[in-house]
Structures are given as structure tokens and as C-alpha cells.
Amino acid sequence: MKDLGLDCIVCIGGNGTQKTAAKLAAMGLNVVSVPKTIDNDIWGTDFSFGFDSAVSIATDAIDRLHSTASSHKRVMVIEVMGHKAGWIALYSGMAGGGDVILIPELPYNIHNIGDVILNRLKKGKPYSIVVVAEGILTDGRKRAAEYIAQEIEHETGIETRETVLGYIQRGGSPTPFDRNLSTRMGGHATELIATGQFGRMVTLKGDEISSAPLEEIAGKLKLVTEEHDLVVQGKRMGICFG
């Protein structure tokens, strides 16, 4: 930094980036960081840019599966990203009309899921959409979607198919929300540098752009809880979370 005559390093990325940024700041380097991850699991900020775009892609995929599931009277299991945090599965599953949403933070019972799907069948709903995060507990030998699809078919006898969305969630055109969020965060990062406020990460709280000390952010994960409003409202609507 001294050789190049740099005033500050701006670190843009997810949890690993924030942890490294905190280490650089602790060494005395001028660092400002910005949260960017589709997983939305960075502590201290309501949203990181990339998340809304990934949710939009996942929701579109779920929307498209409804017609196939309906016409073939099948259960469709779609796997989205999220190793430890189920934010993408929760937001896309709710937005896309998922009937069952499974995330790493909430335990599930495969017998209960089977009962939910069979009860839907009894009520004249011959197909179901199951949205799963890749990090849910499985037998350890199969991908989440494959495991859940096989278990559901075994439990219910209903033909079940899986779709793994994979890396397609990570690319493409950003949503307007993400474009505007990154502009606002970038502008605030510039203000922090101009005013000499280093060792901080830009955050979004409600509709307010602010910042927090990196040492408070690094090494923490923001996870979904049972008290999250989407989980609460989803359960009231009859959506199964396991």
C-alpha cells in the first residue's frame, strides 16, 4: 500500500472477505469493506447486493416448474444455494409459491413432509413444489434435492423429480434493487474513505445505509430464525417448513 501510495483498500465480498478485511484492519491498514454475497448471511446488514438477483432467478425457476408439476401431477423438488443459511430458499420459496420449504436452520421430519403432500392430494391438489437449500441435512451421500425427492417418493408413492439450479443463480443481469443498493453502498464507502473512517463495513438497516466496525462483523453468520416474519406468515398460510 505504501509503495503504491494507496489511501485505502476497499474489500468487496462475502464472509471470507469480511474476515480477511478485519485482519488487514487489525494490522493497521486502512480498509473499508462492502458486503456482496448471494447467500445474504453477512452479519450486521439486512441485505447484501447479489442476494435479490439470485432470489429473482430462483423464483423464476420455481414459477416455471409449476406448469410441469401440474400437468404431470408430480412432486417437483428444486435445490437452491445456501450451505449454512437458507435465505435464498426462504425468499424464493415464498415468492414462488412453494408448498414445502426446507432450510439448514430448521429441522425437518420426512414423514411429516410426506403427510403434508398426501393431504394436499386428498384436497384435490395433485402436485406439490418443494424448495430445498443445498445445506439441509441428508444421508451425506446424495445432493439435497436427490435425497429429498427419493424420500418423498418412498413416503407418498407419488412420482417425484428433482432440479438443481446450481451456478445459474450466480450470474446474469442484476435486479434494479441490487444495482441501486450497490450504488448506495459504494457511495457510502467513498464517504467513509473521505472522512477517514476505516476498519468499517457498509451496512443496510431498514432503508438506511450506515456502517459497522469490521471486528463486530467478522466470523459471524446471519441465519434464518423461526421468528422471521416470512417463516411466521408462511406457516400461517399452511406452508410446511419441515
How would residue 26 be classed by pLDDT, with cut points 50, 70 and 90?
very high
Residues 69-126: tens digit of each pLDDT:
999 999 999 999 999 999 999 999 999 999 999 999 999 999 999 999 999 999 999 9
Angle between helix axes 229-236 and 87-95 (nearest 10 degrees) is 40
Let me know: does 31 contact 24? Beta carbons within 8 Å: yes
39 given a catalytic annotation: yes
Angle between helix axes 87-95 and 51-72 (nearest 10 degrees) is 50
Reduced to 3 states, what is the DSSP secondary structure of residue 68?
Answer: helix
CA-CA distance, 188 to 157, in Å (whole number)? 55
How would residue 171 be classed by pLDDT, with cut points 50, 70 and 90?
confident
| Identified catalytic residue from 39, 52, 99, 178 | 39
Q: What's the predicted TM-score (pTM) here?
A: 0.95
